[in-house]
């Protein structure tokens, strides 16, 4: 060997820093979007019709739009100095009304008619779920058949006698432990998947500024709110077969994989420590017009994904 008593071995270690400035690139992209230098993926208008209804000590405004001949409504109720904004009233159907695949309930946003900078506004929650779906699947089960004796081999080197505990260096006989032998068999089963979602809207919602906006020739005072939207999806998978132990093993395996994915997402900052995907938005709220008249939404990397602006009021 080239190694000698008293030799010195030198190991060189070279490291590299990731010089990519992701935040700077995202900020540059956002500035180009706001300057109109980035071509939008889509750009279209939606026309809404307002219907006012008097309630007891309050006014309700139904804000409707038509898609494919079907009318959809969101609602704003103004009572005293508070606005209650409801994107959908009652149970929200996933899929068609005749053939729903699930339901959801959307929370109500509460906005003050008057707000000042650094005010904190309340959050609200959304819940949704899909009906369980069941599929016929085939599971694999390992059935123990017995032991298979292993052949002895002649070896040379360091050894420990497993019978006496004696150790030494030289020639010895090595006999591996008997090998367990299994056979894989098919087991018919039914797999049931349940999907649900929980969102918290308006997390860390703070009034950060004020701005005067002009819509259809009329000036309005808007207060600017910045907030986060937290969303988490839950997937539960269960099995039903003649083998209860196999059912439990498959369910535990899916749970283990799910936990590994959650840890990976947190480590890579795809989600926060509670497992929620965090999205950011900035909204200009004009209480006299029922709420937000301009909203900038950001993707998980902080890049602008959508800009919605009220351009006309007749």
Q: What is the pLDDT along the chain (314 residues), one digit of tens a residue?
A: 665 767 676 667 665 555 556 778 888 888 988 898 988 888 888 888 898 999 999 999 888 888 878 888 889 899 999 999 998 888 988 888 788 999 999 999 999 999 999 999 999 999 999 999 999 999 999 998 999 888 889 989 898 888 888 898 888 888 888 889 999 999 999 999 999 999 999 999 999 999 999 988 989 999 999 999 999 999 999 999 999 999 999 999 889 988 888 888 888 788 899 999 999 999 999 888 888 888 899 888 888 888 888 888 88
Query: Rounded CA gap, 65 and 73, in Å?
Result: 7
* Cβ neighbourhood burial of 172 (10 Å; 0-12, 13-18, 19+): middle
What was the pLDDT predicted at 13?
Answer: 66
Residue 122: both structure tokens together: 């309340």
The residues with which 307 forms a beta bridge, in sequence order, are 296
Dihedral angle, C-alpha 54, 56, 61, 67, nearest 10 °: -90
3-state DSSP assignment of residue 220: strand
Query: Rounded CA gap, 77 and 108, in Å?
Result: 10
Query: Rounded CA gap, 156 and 153, in Å?
Result: 10
Q: Which CA distances in Å does 143 have to 22, 140, 146, 181, 254? A: 52, 10, 9, 9, 21
Query: Rounded CA gap, 108 and 124, in Å?
Result: 6
What was the pLDDT predicted at 162?
Answer: 82
The DSSP secondary-structure symbol of 27 reads H
Beta strands 100-106 and 133-148, pairing class: unpaired
What was the pLDDT predicted at 7?
Answer: 65
Of 300, 86, 101, whose CA–CA distance to 196 is shortest? 101
Percent helix, strand, coil in the chain, to 5, is 15, 55, 35
Of 203, 226, 208, 215, whose CA–CA distance to 115 is shortest? 208
What was the pLDDT predicted at 223?
Answer: 95
Query: Rounded CA gap, 118 and 56, in Å?
Result: 32
The three-state DSSP-derived secondary structure of 62-119 is EEEEEECCEEEEEEEEEECCEEEEECCCCCEEEECCCCEEEEEEECCEEEECCCCCCC
């Amino acid at each position: 060997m080239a190694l000698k008593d008293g030799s010195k071995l030198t190991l060189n270690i070279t490291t590299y820093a990731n010089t990519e400035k992701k935040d700077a690139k995202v900020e540059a992209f956002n500035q180009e979007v706001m300057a109109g230098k980035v071509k939008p993926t889509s750009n279209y208008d939606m026309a809404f019709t307002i219907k006012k209804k008097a309630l007891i000590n309050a006014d309700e405004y139904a804000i409707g739009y038509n898609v494919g001949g079907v009318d959809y409504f969101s609602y704003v109720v103004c009572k005293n100095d508070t606005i209650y904004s409801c994107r959908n009233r009652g149970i929200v159907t996933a899929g068609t009304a005749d053939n729903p695949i699930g339901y959801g309930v959307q929370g109500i946003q509460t906005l003050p008619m008057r707000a000042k900078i650094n005010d904190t506004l309340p959050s609200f929650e959304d819940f949704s779920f899909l009906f369980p779906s069941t599929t016929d699947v085939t599971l694999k089960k390992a059935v123990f058949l017995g032991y298979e004796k292993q052949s002895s081999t002649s070896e040379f080197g360091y050894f420990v006698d497993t019978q006496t505990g004696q150790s030494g260096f030289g020639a010895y006989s090595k006999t591996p432990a008997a090998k367990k032998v299994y056979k894989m068999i098919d087991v018919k089963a039914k797999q049931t998947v349940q999907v649900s979602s929980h969102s918290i809207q308006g997390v860390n919602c703070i009034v950060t500024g004020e701005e005067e906006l002009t819509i259809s020739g009329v000036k309005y005072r808007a207060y600017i709110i910045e907030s986060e939207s937290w969303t988490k999806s839950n997937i539960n998978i269960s099995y039903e077969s003649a083998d209860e132990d196999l059912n439990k093993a498959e369910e535990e395996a899916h749970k283990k994989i799910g936990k590994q994915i959650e840890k990976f997402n947190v480590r890579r900052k795809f989600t926060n420590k509670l497992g929620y995907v965090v999205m950011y938005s900035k909204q200009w709220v004009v209480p006299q017009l029922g709420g937000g008249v301009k909203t900038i939404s950001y993707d998980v990397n902080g890049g602008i994904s959508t800009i919605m602006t009220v351009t006309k009021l007749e």
